[in-house]
Chains A and B, each alone.
Chain A
Amino acid sequence: MIAEIGLAVLWMAAALAVLQLVAGVLALKPRGANLIDVVRPVAVMQGVLVLIAFACLVSLFLTTDLSVKLVAENSHSAKPFIFKLAGTWGNHEGSMLLWVTIMAVAGGIVALIEKRLREDTLIATLAGQAFVSLGFYAFLLLSSNPFERLPEPAPEGAGLNPLLQDVGLAFHPPTLYVGYVGLSIAFSFAIGALVTRDVGPAFARAMRPWVLGAWIFLTLGITAGSYWAYYTLGWGGWWFWDPVENASLMPWLAATALLHSASVLASRNALRAWTVMLGVIAFSMSMVGTFLVRSGILTSVHAFAVDPERGSFILALLAIYIGGALTLFGVRASTVTEGSRFSFVSREAALVFNNVMLCGILGIVLVGTLYPLLTEAMGVKVSVGPPYFNPVSAIFAIPMLLVLAVGPLLRWRQDRLNRITMPVAIAAVLAAAVLLGVEVLAPQIKVLPLLGLAVAVGVAYASFLPLRGRNLHRTPLPIWGMVIAHFGIAVALFGMASESAFSTERLAAMNPGDSQQVGPYTLTLKNIAPVAGPNWTALEATVAASYAGGEPAILHPQARTFSNPPGNRTESALKTRWNGQLYAVLGEEGEDGRWQMRFWWKPFVPLIWLGGLLVALGGLLALLGRVASDIRRLVATDKIAYRRQRQGR
């Protein structure tokens, strides 16, 4: 019954999306003005209905209703609660329903709370949002119905991929989806503003919180995904330039550029066309990412659907939305003037430079990700990996980071460089000192990590400079947000460079009682014993890890074996210190009865994810600051309106 309700509600929501689109388009015509009041309530109702459909699917998974095909194929009655819940979106159909749900709920929220934008622009935005949603409704209802029943209920479910049975990963896809879908709202705002020729500060202010929100979630999603790969894959790698990782990085790069450009538009009324263009690019990257991950074009744990029909469907949607948006942009671009002017030395100019550099990195990642697919289609398989991505993206990233250190110190519109010579010189001296110091102490170091360390220290110092001469209690939250986010970038960069330059590795075959050395740690294998969890069994090693001869800490790396479905996974054990992380893995038993152990000492590696969290925190502070001032303004205008009303009486 629940499955049927879910499906019915989903169809009704799709019908409302049609209504939202049609009413929205007609309302923009002079004769359809009476339809204008329909659009907002319909958008809200659509969000509510989809939310009900999603709740139905969640309840089917929680009760493990095996008469539903999707549940039978992806869940299992013996799974822990949290993975039954995560199983809802740990598959193709469920994840697409989640996508539509977030999209419709976000559209409903825009309809409910957005009051600053011109009414016709908002209606056009909601119509655009309905248009985008409709494609995904069609996709869900026509080719990936999540509520399909089996003719006979299955005796037991097939279970969830063991690699995915991890708490961190359970919330990784929804986090990224919120990010992707937030960018769809930005896209709809851009379309709305283009349609009504209303590209200006009001549009940027309405769009900015959505971009910020999306960007925060993307940052968290990427950070969490990277940490997940680090501790589950069992070899200490944290970024592989895997197409699926790139699929999440590309929208982040575009959203970063969009965020900065929208800020310029909101406060300076400049970069109008550029902001609209980035809005289109950012959502395109979300779609490209979804296409790469969902189409099964890459075979990995992420690609649940090895089904060309679905791939073509998403590709068609991609072509319609992006092609349509670019055509609209082409038609209207001449009517969008660039807005206020600024000089070569100004904060706007620094932001433009960094936007262009971000787009350069984005281009490199896009080409590096898609090119192997292209050559494979031509019959030649090539690989593009870290040896390509690292140096080539650094060509753009290093100048960008240098400008990042200087840009926030510049004034809007026009400035003189000699005004900020002193603080910039100090940052430069710091960076140069690190460069020389590391080069002398560790002459083996490669160029990129060396530059990374130096730039990270310089940027970390410079990121706090915008606070100079400010009363810290009265500094607006968005400024704090910027400072912390920029500092987070420096922190993450330092972690990356340090990991790549100074990691030490020890592979060893050990008997219980044997000791090994890695970095400052002495490790003693105490014993190996079997342990059992809810749906797995494991061999667990007990390892005493002593830092520089101190009191040993006990670590328990495991090699887990899952039963439903069968699979293996290493559970590495980590010991975090302020100056780095010890990483221990239990491998297999050798011929001679000794155990394969793998140890790494990775100086400052946790800074990578700490930096990611700081960046997200910076975004959150900026968002809070923006939302708080929006609320204050709303309250103030309401008060004024109220007083006028009373005086009128």
Chain B
Amino acid sequence: MIRLLFALLALTLTVPATAQDMLPPAPYAYRQLPDSAQEAKAQALMETLRCLKCQSQSIADSDAPMAGDMRHQVRTRIAAGEEPEHIRQWLIERYGDYVSYTPQVKPITWPLFAAPLVFLALAALLLRGRFRRRAETPVEGSGE
């Protein structure tokens, strides 16, 4: 016990609090879950979470220590039987919407989800306009 305390003390003394990057990576940062179904679930979730320290990379694609810590979190929580969407919500509470590559449906993102509908409507209008005009003025010389 005393040895452990000493070890902890040594750690806090030698490693400045800001140098989090110097700590060894958490166990599941670079290790897969033994159960392949769980690992697949974790992988799918990690691919949709943003690495907050990188430029446009998911935590599944990053060497950054913070991404490693987040991978560890995701894998341990998946192994404990937590649902992926629940983990996502937990991370969003901690880091904000920015962490999720899947935009959350909220008033601020409504335009984002409206965009495909608007474009589909525009496309339909454009095509309809073109082809209806065709129907009214049949192609000259058409034999049908």
Contacts and interface: CB of A to CB of B under 8 A. Distances in A.
Interface of A: 233-237, 240-244, 298-301, 341-344, 349, 352-353, 356-357, 359-360, 363-364, 367-368, 371, 375, 378, 380-388, 392, 395-396, 413-414, 444, 505-509, 570, 587-588, 590-591, 596, 598
B108 to A, nearest CB: 5
B38 interface: no
Contact of A356 (B127, B138, B140): B127
Contacts of B134: 341-344
B139 A341 contact: yes
Contacts of A570: 63
Nearest to A234: B63
Given A240-B56, A360-B123, A590 B103 contact: no
Contact of B112 (A298, A349, A384): A384
A363 B108 contact: no
B47 interface: yes
11 contacts: A298-B55, A352-B130, A368-B115, A382-B109, A383-B97, A384-B103, A385-B50, A388-B101, A396-B119, A509-B30, A596-B30
Contacts of B61: 233, 235-237, 240
Contacts, number: 135
Contacts of A396: 119, 123
Contact of B102 (A344, A360, A385): A385
Given A352-B127, A367-B112, A387-B101, A591 B24 contact: yes
Contact of B58 (A300, A381, A385, A388): A385
Chain B contact-residue range equals 35 or more
A364 B115 contact: yes
A396 B120 CA distance: 8
Contacts of A359: 123
Interface of B: 24-25, 30-32, 40, 43, 47-48, 50, 55-58, 60-63, 96-104, 108-109, 111-112, 115-116, 119-120, 123, 126-127, 130-131, 134-135, 137-140, 142
Contacts of A236: 61
Contacts of A371: 109, 111-112
A236 B58 CA distance: 12
Contacts of B103: 382-384, 387-388
A349 B57 CA distance: 40
Contacts of A353: 127
B112 A233 contact: no
B100 A383 contact: yes
Contacts of A506: 32
B15 to A, nearest CB: 13
A413 B56 contact: no
A380 B97 contact: yes
B119 A243 contact: no
A375 B116 contact: no
A298 B115 CA distance: 22
A237 B59 CA distance: 12
Contacts of A341: 134, 137, 139-140
A363 B31 CA distance: 40
